[in-house]
């Protein structure tokens, strides 16, 4: 029996592009923040190639940038 992710739960996650548009920066900047451990992301999909960001993690990242 294989577990399929809940489509509604996945829809709640943000893509790298969506975060870059919200923050007014490039996708590369978002990826750098993820690699540096400043922004928490999860890998999904075949081989874990796709990055998704929880809106709460994004809010925490934005809050840290303001401090």
Residue 2 in tokens? 């294989």
Q: Are 57 and 67 in contact (CB under 8 A)?
A: no
pLDDT given for residue 2 in this prediction = 46
Global pTM? 0.81
Domains of the chain: 12-66 (1.10.10)
Mean pLDDT of 40-59: 95
Whether the pLDDT of residue 5 is over 90: the answer is no
pLDDT given for residue 1 in this prediction = 44
Q: Backbone phi, then psi, for 38, in 5-degree steps?
A: -85, -25
Using CA atoms, how far residue 15 sits from 2, 31, 42, in Å, is 25, 11, 10
């Amino acid at each position: 029996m294989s577990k399929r992710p809940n489509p509604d739960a996945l829809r709640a996650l943000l893509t790298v592009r969506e975060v870059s548009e919200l923050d007014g920066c490039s996708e590369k900047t978002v990826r750098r923040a993820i690699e540096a451990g400043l922004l928490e992301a999860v890998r999904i999909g075949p081989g874990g190639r796709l990055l998704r960001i929880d809106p709460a993690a994004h809010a925490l990242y934005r809050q840290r940038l303001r401090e």
